[in-house]
Structure 1
Amino acid sequence: MTMLRSFDPASGDLVWEGESAGADAVAAALLRARHAFPAWRALPVETRVAVAGRYRDALEARKDEIARIISRETGKPLWETQSEVASMIGKVGLSIAAQAERAGEKRSAMPFGEAVLRHRPHGVMAVLGPFNFPGHLPNGHIVPALIAGNTVVFKPSEMTPATGAAMAECWAQALADHPFVFQCIQGGRETGEALVAGHIDGLLFTGSAGAGAHFRRVFADRPDVILALELGGNNPLVVWDAEDVEEAAAVVVQSAFITTGQRCSCARRLIVPDSVFGSALVDAVAALARRISIGAWDESPEPWIGPLISDAAARSARARVDDLSGRGAKVILPFTGVEGRSDAFVTPGMLDVTGTFVPDEEIFAPVLQVSRVADFDAAMAAANNTRFGLSAGFVSADDALWERFALESRAGVVNRNRPTTGAAGSMPFGGLGESGNHRPSAYYAADYCAYPVASFEAGHAGGNMGAISDRLRA
């Protein structure tokens, strides 16, 4: 028996302990989900919507407890995890609306009948969750998948099993009359591999670009499996002018350093003009970043950011920063540990990489690379010089430049005068290139949770012989 444990990255305290599911347990869960699917699919959508409503009620009743669980497992401050749980609750209403709008039933009259558009669930969906938003992000797959009529087998990140367990308890309460429609299995890589290799109809994944590339290869010969990938990004933020440098710097800091840089939509590359304004902006960002409060999730006053997810994550990020320095990057703000804290704690770092060749890689930490360019053509070229395409940001009062930036940016989320991490639940969220596979989530999750069925229907066969007779006489 293999045990799985999660720890508070700030204190090292044990948060959760349980058994890791082996291949046999995974296969059994998939078989149960397969058997539960026909009855769940056959229910009226209103019944499934009502179940989702009960899940929302269960989350609401436990929102403070679940926020604390997420904070303990991820190290995120409580203000941020409370917002995450609120997003989970809000996702239910948004998913219900999206299902009706994007995957509902539509009818239109035609000669001798009517055209009917219906949507049908795929079957058994596997959901793999990330550690950075262990509730909100898998929730964004699970809720629309279940409303559409699929059954779900969910494996949380091995770093955040307690959050997954709490979600499973809420679903168990909502699905008391519908066993095995939703199941949560715990485990690490081997558990995930068994789930992916099993008899599934869809894989809904949020995580790294490297894992996404692996899944593309794994499913190359399995076209029957719907694959929705929400991956990372090496996201650019172009700041070209600003009436208030301090306000522009605040957009940069929120883009780059929120959640200790552990958002897939965080700005990784700051692109500024090689000018007096560009230098002033960089100085203002560095000054503001130095003021960021760092601490454990349960400290008072509450910090703005906590630690990285683990000591190992911090070591990996430091190695990446050291590599950039070895390539010639100049340190603007050192990326270091925090004295008296666990090794998972780090300070925001900034490096000037102008004229330096740097790998096109995402550093999943509060590290910002600064590039100074001669003109806006060079800024656009630098912004798009990436194999990723998740988010991009532009700070400027110039409407004409914004129109060009919005047109030419290769990203799924393109923001103006707002952080790159800003997104609306009523809009799609996802990227292209190495950031996804053209199946954005959020409001558009309804699109990949069901497939369209187009029908031409009539109540009786009348009219067909007449048409044939006319053709024969002709």
Structure 2
Amino acid sequence: MSGSVFIDGVWRAGAGPEAVSVDPTTGEIIWRQAVADGADVVDAVAAARRAFPAWADRPRDERIAILRRYKEVLTARTADYAQALSRETGKALWETKAELGSMAGKVDASIKAYEERTGEHENAMVFGRAVLRHRPHGVMAVLGPFNFPGHLPNGHIVPALLAGDTVVFKPSEETPLAGQLLVEALEAAGVPAGVVNLVQGGRAVGQALIDQEIDGLLFTGSAAAGAFFRRHFADRPDVILALELGGNNPLVVWDAGDAEAVAALVVQSAFITTGQRCSCARRLIVSDDAAGRAVIDAVAALAERLVIGPWNGGEEPFMGPLISDRAAAMALAGANAMGGRTVRAMAPVDGLSKAFVSPGLVEVTGLEIPDEELFAPLLQVRRVASFDEAIAAANATRYGLSAGLISNETAHWEHFLRRIRAGVVNWNRPTTGAAGTMPFGGLGTSGNHRPSAYYAADYCAYPVASFEAASVSDTLGDIKGLRA
């Protein structure tokens, strides 16, 4: 590999400015390349367009065989790829190994989803048959995020390739190495030239990509970016948008018993991946009584025990740094501006880089807090008087990605499930719990009703319904109102 741009099966240097990727744990530069410019983007889309007919016409069994080789490549490279992810994102090695496992597992899950949701189905009719088929859209632009820079774009790319689409992939500018390694694995698996193309860069490269004649945009990222894309494509209904966005996710605790057991679920919901998951709990809602206060105290106590440190340190960490020093500074400023009563401060961590922060809890009972997603390990706590008030508080958001209930009462769960507005709703499990064999997506500002994971097959191909007869038959007798 030589260069940061992969177009029509060839690696080359980008024609844009030089960019770097920095290890947030140490500040070390781990990737330095000239990124793409507008001309590179034009070339990448053109290559994908040229490659599309042959790839779409290729027997699906052959596309499946290539993707299964890709799975084998990922499995063989897991150790090195996981270390690269940990260096680039700061995430613990146990977490990046799990990310590689999810990437490999996506292949078989996507094959099964394609067969079940978008394969070919037929019914016998009097005249012949009715057939439902699915066809690929064409050239898909995939914009990846930094928090799961392998797993999340992989979740768009694999089903797109399986359906017969071609891809132009722009990773997050924060994690270019992760994107490069993903494309290298696809290249090693034998994906034909032009079927997958890579353009590295920041906002200007992303803008150039969405300005091209693409057929779809598959995006995982912030709600603000999603809103921009909706506006941008308002007059281009031919472009399919699949937007997987953020959330201001609630976690309700009610009649749950053991406060320490509850705290374990809360901590895993709110602070895993240093709070950098779109499904992390941002708002904890508890009863305004001794039981609720016990939960708050237990969460604060457990947060104190969490190991915060580098992925390759002497002690295995629960969480590492935020993606950058800048992200940490913005998170701390946002936490300080929130107001409320500090239960446990989110603060810099002594002896570590500026990207490290400790998990925080702030009580906001009785306060009006902006309905925004703070992408960091900060949990707002609100006490309410009744379960109905808890549900109302949980739904008091324009987002609708994930929500959770911790309770020993089945009746509470059944009521919560009927009333809560979210696409992922969990009971006595972390809000971050999700399976690739189920849909993943949300309502409101959290998406555009095109969930990913198992349902990604739906937005990678469109249905074609046909009535078919093998020969011409006389249907004059079927025509009503015909003169003799």
TM-score (norm 2): 0.96
C-alpha offsets along residues 389-445 of structure 1, whole Å, 9 cap, x if unaligned?
Answer: 000000001111111111111100000000000001100000010000000000000
Q: Give the Cα–Cα distance (whole angstroms) in 2 for the partners of residues 324 and 198 of structure 1.
A: 40
Q: Which residue of 2 aligns with 1:262?
A: 276
Structure 2 counterparts to residues 18-417 of structure 1, below 5 A: 18-176=33-191, 178-325=192-339, 329-417=340-428
Offset of 1:340 from its aligned partner? 1.2
Letter in structure 1 aligned against 2:94: W
User: Number of matched residues?
Assistant: 469
Q: Which residue of 2 aligns with 1:425?
A: 436
Aligned to 2:473, which of 462, 468, 473? 462
Q: Give the Cα–Cα distance (whole angstroms) in 2 for the partners of residues 174 and 156 of structure 1.
A: 20
2:442 match: secondary structure: coil
Offset of 1:463 from its aligned partner? 3.9
Letter in structure 1 aligned against 2:354: D
Letter in structure 2 aligned against 1:430: G
Offset of 1:111 from its aligned partner? 1.6
Letter in structure 1 aligned against 2:177: A
Q: Give the Cα–Cα distance (whole angstroms) in 2 for the partners of residues 370 and 253 of structure 1.
A: 13
Cα 1:199–1:175 change in 2 (3 A) is farther
Q: Give the Cα–Cα distance (whole angstroms) in 2 for the partners of residues 167 and 336 of structure 1.
A: 34
Q: Give the Cα–Cα distance (whole angstroms) in 2 for the partners of residues 306 and 346 of structure 1.
A: 9
C-alpha offsets along residues 143-197 of structure 1, whole Å, 9 cap, x if unaligned?
Answer: 0000000000000000000010101101111235x21100111101101110011
Letter in structure 2 aligned against 1:421: T
Q: Give the Cα–Cα distance (whole angstroms) in 2 for the partners of residues 451 and 175 of structure 1.
A: 26
- Shifted more, 294-303 versus 68-77: the winner is 294-303
Offset of 1:17 from its aligned partner? 1.2
C-alpha offsets along residues 71-104 of structure 1, whole Å, 9 cap, x if unaligned?
Answer: 0000001000000000000000000100111010
Q: Give the Cα–Cα distance (whole angstroms) in 2 for the partners of residues 393 and 77 of structure 1.
A: 25
Q: Decide whether the 8 Å contact of 1:390 with 1:435 is kept in 2.
A: yes
Q: Give the Cα–Cα distance (whole angstroms) in 2 for the partners of residues 414 and 175 of structure 1.
A: 39
Offset of 1:44 from its aligned partner? 1.2
2:271 match: secondary structure: helix
Letter in structure 2 aligned against 1:454: A
Letter in structure 2 aligned against 1:411: A
Q: Give the Cα–Cα distance (whole angstroms) in 2 for the partners of residues 304 and 194 of structure 1.
A: 38
Q: Decide whether the 8 Å contact of 1:175 with 1:181 is kept in 2.
A: no
2:256 match: secondary structure: coil
Q: Decide whether the 8 Å contact of 1:146 with 1:152 is kept in 2.
A: yes
Q: Which residue of 2 aligns with 1:450?
A: 461
Offset of 1:302 from its aligned partner? 1.1
Q: Decide whether the 8 Å contact of 1:112 with 1:463 is kept in 2.
A: no
Q: Give the Cα–Cα distance (whole angstroms) in 2 for the partners of residues 261 and 241 of structure 1.
A: 26
TM-score (norm 1): 0.98
Q: Give the Cα–Cα distance (whole angstroms) in 1 for the partners of residues 256 and 418 of structure 2.
A: 21
* Identity over aligned pairs, percent: 62
5+ long unaligned stretches in structure 2: 1-15
Q: Give the Cα–Cα distance (whole angstroms) in 1 for the partners of residues 76 and 345 of structure 2.
A: 43
Letter in structure 1 aligned against 2:305: R
Q: Give the Cα–Cα distance (whole angstroms) in 2 for the partners of residues 148 and 471 of structure 1.
A: 45
Q: Give the Cα–Cα distance (whole angstroms) in 2 for the partners of residues 194 and 346 of structure 1.
A: 35
1:472 match: secondary structure: coil
1:162 match: secondary structure: helix
Q: Give the Cα–Cα distance (whole angstroms) in 2 for the partners of residues 111 and 340 of structure 1.
A: 77
Offset of 1:473 from its aligned partner? 6.8
Q: Give the Cα–Cα distance (whole angstroms) in 2 for the partners of residues 19 and 61 of structure 1.
A: 29
5+ long unaligned stretches in structure 1: none
